[in-house]
Structure 1
Amino acid sequence: MNKQTLAGLLLSLCLLLTITVALPAQQAQAADGTLFSDVSNSYWAHDTIEWGVNAGLVKGYADGTFKPSKTVTEAEFLAMLIRSYEPEVTASSKGNWASPYYVRAKALRYPVSSYTDLSSRSKVITRAKVAELISAADGVNFSGDDAIRYLLAFGLANGSDAGQATVSSFKGNQSLTRAEALQFIKNFVDYGAGGLLDRPQEASNASDIPAVANR
């Protein structure tokens, strides 16, 4: 047997072993069908969470969970939002990890109060503040209930009750969860401006928002 024939046999054997070893793992993953142990296929945000993970916006935890109901800080939401269109902006390995996202947010004039106050970055963000950030990324300048009305009027949110899209049902004072954060961002990617726009310096005209019920 010459060297070329022997080399060919060894290559074929390696390929066969690779296929044999890899195949069971792929079949097991397909049979399982879930990314995280605490996110079932029937969970309301399953597809959204899978989208967010595949898009590199967020990761799960080392124990195999996602913790979809865990609250989100301002820094965490801002990072997800900016990553949705600008993945080249990444966490800092020195100092405060979220500083690059705040630098970008400041350049875009987004309404966050933590450009320099690092302690505020770790505070849980409310749904109303999320409405202000999402509307800012869509190129308008609204705050409070007007920001909520904007999201509801233009399909960027449905409120906590999809059958009753009102300012009250939006529950702006409530804290945001990981699953909700990804849903907000997916809505923005699907129905928003198509990128991260600058927030105007002057407040936008609230009368331009289509009518949305308060309650």
Structure 2
Amino acid sequence: MKLIGKTVWTSLLLVGIAVVQNGGSESEVLRLHVAEAAAKSAPASDYANHPAKDAISHGLQKGYLWKYPDGKFHPEQTVTQSQFVASLVAIRQVSEKESVPALPAGHWAKDIYERAQKAGILANVPVNPNKLLTKEEAALLVFNAWKPFRGEKNPNLSNTGALITWGWMKAAPSGQPKFREDLPLLRGDAAEILRYLWTDKWQLEQGAKYAEEFHRSLKIVNGNIVGKVPKGDGDFMTRALFVTKQNSRAIFLNGENFVVPLNQVDSLSFTIINTRDSTDAGIYLYTKLPKLERYKNDQMFHTPRGKSE
């Protein structure tokens, strides 16, 4: 019941934003929430043939995107700062708040922005809920929101360039500079970026669970490292990789047990791999054997996509 309540709260919040931005009153929020729930099960209407159809449907189903009061998504409209911030807050599931003096008491977006402020999403961002976002402004919000998960962006690129290089934002249309920062970010394009974020957070959370299961299995017994690689599923492959002092490799995969002589091992890594796109859902290194201490070495934003540090 607690989870259901949180989901309903988020939906009410997001629908409320759409209401006020389109001239409605806050008293209409509950009625429109009911209409929104019905709209989610209705035909895709104005985005049925849009390239971002799947991303839009995913966001509506997961509750971090919403339609306008007219029941349409309007994928070709430019996303506003408040819409994008609200989606980031919903995906991050931020609950704590921090004051945002730029918004007066009672302002319709104050609650969202206070949550975003606490999460660091508004760092170096002028507060303007109704502002139509450029790609560069949206990319800055993405990097702010995802810094706890993926670290800093490539310092040699603009926010737009770094996000395009990472693969989460489309390049400019053919014939224009690839990293053109001033182009508007349309709601359909925003839906695709936000789906990447939701999926990345989900896979990192799943990776952490597998990593904890693996870590609990590790033991030093009679001069051997003993353990078991957790059994993956259709979404993830799990792998333990031992590097020996002769620089050879011993690899154990999903569900396999292992007994490896400690005196032959130089280091151990445990990796969780997303089988759908081959990205890492977690990399954990054990470099101080026989101490079973680990540190996380996930792929960072400034590392080229598909490679790990």
Q: Same fold (TM over 0.5)?
A: yes
* 1:98 to 2:109 alignment: yes
Higher helix share: 1
Structure 1 gaps, min length 5: 1-28, 115-119, 196-207
Note closer, same or farther for the CA distance 1:154–1:107 as it changes in structure 2 (3 Å cut).
same
Q: Percent identity?
A: 24
Query: How many angstroms apart in 2 are the aligned matches of 1:50 and 1:65?
Result: 12
Corresponding position of 1:124: 132
Corresponding position of 1:43: 50
Q: For 1:72-106, what per-residue CA distance to the aligned partner results, in whole angstroms no more than 9, with x for missing partners?
A: 2111110011111317589xxx8222212221222
* 1:67 to 2:79 alignment: no
Structure 2 gaps, min length 5: 1-37, 98-104, 206-301
Note closer, same or farther for the CA distance 1:191–1:151 as it changes in structure 2 (3 Å cut).
farther
Query: Relative contact order, CA 8 A, sep 6+: which one is greater?
Result: 1
Query: How many angstroms apart in 1 are the aligned matches of 2:66 and 2:120?
Result: 27
Alignment of 1:1-16 (within 5 A): none
Q: Counterpart amino acid of 2:197?
A: F
Offset, 1:154: 2.6
Pick from 134, 138, 146 the counterpart of residue 146 of structure 2.
138
Partner of 2:46: helix, strand, or coil?
Answer: coil
Higher strand share: 2
* 1:80 to 2:93 alignment: no
Q: Counterpart amino acid of 2:109?
A: A
| TM-score, L = length of structure 2 | 0.43
Pick from 112, 122, 126 the counterpart of residue 113 of structure 1.
126
Offset, 1:66: 1.6
Note closer, same or farther for the CA distance 1:62–1:102 as it changes in structure 2 (3 Å cut).
closer
Pick from 172, 179, 185 the counterpart of residue 194 of structure 2.
185
* Contact 2:94/2:119 (<8 A) preserved: no
Partner of 1:168: helix, strand, or coil?
Answer: coil
* 1:148 to 2:160 alignment: yes
Offset, 1:71: 1.5
RMSD: 3.4
Q: For 1:129-170, what per-residue CA distance to the aligned partner results, in whole angstroms no more than 9, with x for missing partners?
A: 111111222214558943223323332223245xx8xx9324
Q: For 1:36-95, what per-residue CA distance to the aligned partner results, in whole angstroms no more than 9, with x for missing partners?
A: 32122x3201111111111111222343322111122111110011111317589xxx82
Partner of 2:82: helix, strand, or coil?
Answer: helix
Note closer, same or farther for the CA distance 1:189–1:62 as it changes in structure 2 (3 Å cut).
closer
Note closer, same or farther for the CA distance 1:61–1:132 as it changes in structure 2 (3 Å cut).
closer
Corresponding position of 1:6: none
| Equivalent pairs, count | 156
Query: How many angstroms apart in 1 are the aligned matches of 2:71 and 2:58?
Result: 17
* Contact 2:94/2:115 (<8 A) preserved: no
